Structure 1
Amino acid sequence: MSTLTKSNHIGRKISRIRELRDMKQEALAQALGTNQQAVSAMENSETIDDDKLAEVAKALGVTVEAIKNFSDEAAINYFNSFSDNSINQGPIGNQNICHFNPLDKLLEAFEENKKLYERLLEAEKEKNAYLEKLLEKK
């Protein structure tokens, strides 16, 4: 009976974290001050020295421990643990979603401004009429 053990392939973990952060190899290479081929070679390496790993972790915005302990299963479980994975919930994103038509609100504001203008115009007409009456009496 053979037992399957998961390898601790650091390069593959770096590749997965980079992909999850929606970063291309070129962008990581630029952040590390190297080229895309070097990043590709690093992602194919099973081990990486600690100094280089620290640089990569900083460029990816994660800790060295996060890279060493990364697993696809843990990442999937983390995102599936939310009760509502919609785009406006949880740490994934905090985006505003309109539950009304903005154009309708704009038209409502326009109509209200029009009514206010008409009331102001009527008040001015009444004031002018009152002043004309005062002038006629003198």
Structure 2
Amino acid sequence: MAQHTTHLGEKIKGVREMLGVKQDALAIELGDDWNQRKVSMLEAKAEIEPALLEKVAAALKVPKEMIENFDRAEVVNICSNTFTQSTLNGINYYPTFNPIEKIIEIYKEREVLFERMLKDKDEMIARLESLLNGK
């Protein structure tokens, strides 16, 4: 059975990366005495003081427990079991309708509309001719 790491620095890095936050951005959120290098050093530490962990959690806008319990393998497992190739990025590669039939349907609707427009045009011409002949 795999043993879960208790390396808090790695867990902070995992949560930060999952949220798409760069080290520079986290440093800005942590305050003036922080920079990218200091965040990198923090992520290299196995143990982190509870007060600092609380501050990092607040900067990342997550509960402290999320960092403490973070498991990259579990996140990957959940994602791989949740998303399939056919629904990745919200694109359904296996539609429930036949695209060719849908295109034909659209063209038929346009054909009906075009025929109605031609009929309206012919009626308008007939009315205009009757007005001109009436004078």
TM-score bracket, shorter-length normalisation:
0.5 to 0.7
Partner amino acid for 2:59? A
2:81 aligns with 81
8 Å contact from structure 2 (residues 86, 92) kept in 1 = no
Distance apart, 1:44 and its partner CA: 1.3
Partner amino acid for 1:29? A
Match among 18, 22, 25 for residue 23 of structure 2: 25
What is the alpha-carbon root mean square deviation over aligned residues? 3.6
* TM-score (structure 2 length as normaliser): 0.65
> What count of residue pairs does the alignment treat as equivalent?
123
Distance (Å, rounded) in 2 between the aligned partners of 1:75 and 1:122: 66
Structure 1 spans left out of the alignment, 5+ residues: none
Deviation string, structure 1 residues 17-55 (Cα, Å, up to 9, x no partner) = 222233321122222232101111111122223333223
Distance (Å, rounded) in 1 between the aligned partners of 2:27 and 2:85: 33
Partner amino acid for 2:27? A
Structure 2 spans left out of the alignment, 5+ residues: none
Partner amino acid for 2:37? Q
Give the direction of change, closer, same or farther, for the CA distance of 1:36–1:85 in structure 2 (3 Å limit): same
8 Å contact from structure 2 (residues 10, 43) kept in 1 = yes
Q: Which one scores higher on RCO, CA 8 angstroms, separation ≥ 6?
A: 2
